[in-house]
Amino acid sequence: MRVRLSYTAEIDEVLSEAAFLLGTLADTFEESIKLYNKTITHLKDKEFNPNKFHENMDVLRQNLGKIDTRCLEINQVVTGFEDYQRQERQSSPDGPGTIETASPSVEAHAGETTDD
């Protein structure tokens, strides 16, 4: 089951929040790399177990799907931030690069998968 999570952050915190979200993938990357290497080694073993191979490949593909989804979501957040900055530069009476002092909040969404 997929659910949409959302929260708000001050505009000057958007990139650090995006970095945090990207950082949450570290364990998934590490697990995937270990499983990837283990699967390659298993393919070369004399005692090849097709069931174990398919199980490992399923987990690896699921991990890659989680990584891909999270990267897409983070990309969308950063694109929204860039759009906000572009609009601010175009509409600011003080000139390019000026951001209002009363920063609006930015909504970020992240999808999570749960097994029920």
Phi, psi of 75 (to 5 degrees): -60, -40
pLDDT in tens, 62-112: 999 999 999 999 999 999 999 999 999 998 766 544 443 333 334 444 444
Residue with tokens 């749960």: 114
22 inside domain = yes
8 inside domain = no
Does the pTM surpass 0.85? The reply is no
For residue 57, give the 3-state DSSP assignment: helix
49 inside domain = yes
67 inside domain = yes
Burial 13-28 (b: 16+ CB within 10 A, else e): ebeebbeebeeebeee
